[in-house]
Amino acid sequence: MLSFTLLVLAIAPAVIRALDNGLGQTPPMGWNSWNHYTCDINETVILSNAKAMEEAGLLELGYNYIVMDDCWSKRERDPETGEIVPDPEKFPHGIESMIEEIHNMGFKFGMYSSAGKYTCAGYPGSLDHEEIDAKKFADWKIDYLKYDNCFNQGRSGTPLISYKRYEAMSEALNKTGRPIFYALCQWGEDQVWNWASTVANSWRITGDIYDSFNRYDIRCPCETYDCPSLQGYHCSIMNIVNKAAPLVQKTGPNSGWSDMDMLEIGNGGMTYDEYITHFTMWAVLKSPIFLGNDVSNMTPDHLELVSNPDVIAVHQDVSAPANRMWKKPFGDGYVHLFSGSLSNGDWVVAVINEANVPLVEMSILFSDIFIDNRDNTKFVWNIKDLWTKETTTAARHLTADVAPHGTQVWRLQKATHNSYNYYWVGHNPN
């Protein structure tokens, strides 16, 4: 009887039910117009960034969604049909022709609306117009919908009320018959992580990102995910990492993904090492990764950063995100350890140095990395630093050297058993 109970407990997490639209086995990648252009968009801006993504090799690396954010429509619905109307000045060739061009380049296309009376910038929202809007979006052949939370008419405040508002669009999208990745932008209100997986493919868990490493800002008032206050905006990347860390247990290939918001790499507010932390943690925690900069005007080092195939391979591995094993005071900040298993038996380990001083030769114990898989501590592992590309072997511990505000990340591959001999440290066991 006891063992039967244990068995049931052990398999419970595997039966999480996801939205059944065939999408989102791994978190999506692409580009979104908001962080750089905000409302200043038109067909030239969208198409030139798609072109730049293709020419930079980013499409080939997996960045295959081009998402157009807020401000694409006229201020009023068509009085005759009730439909949302694309702004003809911003899209002189029509929105369908732009989407077709994007498809012809090999991308999928993402659209934006809000589960409110208006979008955040005051354009018509889809609340109580879900079916007519979903049908129009499907006619235009969209592949992704970012669905915001502005002007929701007070229809929030309990999980069930929010759930119903987002479920309405989920059902409307399903009715169109077109598979459309459904991305909630509900800012983490009403414990979205507890209810989104049956209606959506991803869900935002925080207020809007800001291009800063860890600057305090009262407009992002919460320091933790369970704060009952408003979610706000101007959230630094470490604010978002701290909120995401406990919530990724609700995500995975069979449920959906915590969205930590679009990237700021290339927008100029952070150092290179801070952008390394930004990119690494969005990958390791399996957030959707949408570039949010002007791709046609990107420095070579930022382009190289977002093109790291080893980090992208971790992000696109069909597995759950890494977990934070500890967070300890270090220098004038903290050091964080994340570890997670990958689908082929490899592991990924990341160490963030949140302090303003370098972290030098810190031992990261296997007994901390493999808390849930003790047997792994008995092996020698081949390790690869995914930024420096250095490879070596390790037993019992890794050695971390991390620049201020930087992140070191390794992929570990099991080499040989180490039950009676620790002399392999630093040597090739083969």
Ligand X SMILES: *[C@@H]1O[C@H](CO)[C@@H](O)[C@H](O)[C@H]1NC(C)=O
Report the catalytic residues.
Answer: 148, 208
Span from 28-36, 39-47, 132-140, 227-235 in contact with ligand X (CB under 6 A): 39-47
Task: Catalogue the long-range contacts made by 211-215 (C-beta closer than 8 Å, 24 or more residues apart).
Answer: 211/35, 211/264, 211/267, 211/268, 211/269, 211/270, 212/236, 212/237, 212/269, 212/270, 213/237, 213/238, 213/270, 213/271, 213/274, 213/277, 213/405, 214/238, 214/239, 214/333, 214/354, 214/405
Interface with ligand X, residue 48, by CB under 6 A: no
Span from 104-112, 171-179, 274-282, 319-327 in contact with ligand X (CB under 6 A): 171-179
| Amino acid at residue number 206 | T
Using the minimum distance from each CB to ligand X, give the nearer residue, 18 or 248.
18
Interface with ligand X, residue 156, by CB under 6 A: no
Q: Judged by CB under 6 A, how many residues of this single chain contact ligand X?
A: 13
Interface with ligand X, residue 294, by CB under 6 A: no
Interface with ligand X, residue 148, by CB under 6 A: no
Interface with ligand X, residue 170, by CB under 6 A: no
Interface with ligand X, residue 26, by CB under 6 A: no
Q: Mapped to the 3 state alphabet, what secondary structure does the chain carry? A: CHHHHHHHHHHHHHHCCCCCCCCCCCCCEEEECHHHHCCCCCHHHHHHHHHHHHHCCCCCCCCCEEECCCCCECCCCCCCCCCCCECCCCCCCCHHHHHHHHHHHCCEEEEEEECCCECCCCCECCCCCHHHHHHHHHHCCCCEEEEECCCCCCCCCCHHHHHHHHHHHHHHHHHHCCCCEEEECCCCHHHHHHCHHHCCCEEECCCCECCCCCCCCCCCCCCCCCCCCCCCCCECHHHHHHHHHHHHHHCECCCEEEECCCCCCCCCCCCHHHHHHHHHHHHHCCCCEEECCCHHHCCHHHHHHHCCHHHHHHHCCCCCCCEEEEEEEECCEEEEEEEEECCCCCEEEEEEECCCCCEEEEEEEHHHHCCCCHHHHHEEEEEEECCCCCEEEEECEEEEEECCCCEEEEEEEEEEECCCCCCCCCCCCC
Interface with ligand X, residue 21, by CB under 6 A: yes
x/- mask, ligand X, residues 200-239, rule CB under 6 A, reads ----------------------------------------
**Cβ of residue 266: shortest distance to ligand X, in angstroms?**
18
Q: Which of 43, 208, 259, 317 binds ligand X (CB under 6 A)?
A: 43
Interface with ligand X, residue 307, by CB under 6 A: no
**Cβ of residue 203: shortest distance to ligand X, in angstroms?**
17
Q: Which of 25, 38, 44, 81 binds ligand X (CB under 6 A)?
A: 44
**Cβ of residue 326: shortest distance to ligand X, in angstroms?**
40
Q: Which of 16, 39, 45, 52 binds ligand X (CB under 6 A)?
A: 45
**Cβ of residue 145: shortest distance to ligand X, in angstroms?**
12
The residues in 79-138 that bind ligand X, with binding defined as CB under 6 A, are 90, 92
Using the minimum distance from each CB to ligand X, give the nearer residue, 145 or 350.
145
**Cβ of residue 288: shortest distance to ligand X, in angstroms?**
19
Span from 38-46, 64-72, 142-150, 338-346 in contact with ligand X (CB under 6 A): 38-46
Using the minimum distance from each CB to ligand X, give the nearer residue, 174 or 191.
174
Span from 43-51, 65-73, 137-145, 244-252 in contact with ligand X (CB under 6 A): 43-51
**Cβ of residue 132: shortest distance to ligand X, in angstroms?**
18
Q: Which residues contact 34 (CB under 8 A, 6 or more apart)?
A: 69, 70, 262, 292
Using the minimum distance from each CB to ligand X, give the nearer residue, 179 or 358.
179
Q: Which of 2, 12, 104, 177 binds ligand X (CB under 6 A)?
A: 177
The residues in 257-286 that bind ligand X, with binding defined as CB under 6 A, are none
Using the minimum distance from each CB to ligand X, give the nearer residue, 21 or 156.
21
Q: Which of 1, 20, 80, 300 binds ligand X (CB under 6 A)?
A: 20
Asked if 313 and 270 touch (Cβ cutoff 8 Å), the reply is no
**Cβ of residue 92: shortest distance to ligand X, in angstroms?**
5
d(CA 45, CA 294): 9
Interface residue list for ligand X (CB under 6 A) = 20-21, 40, 42-45, 90, 92, 174, 177-179
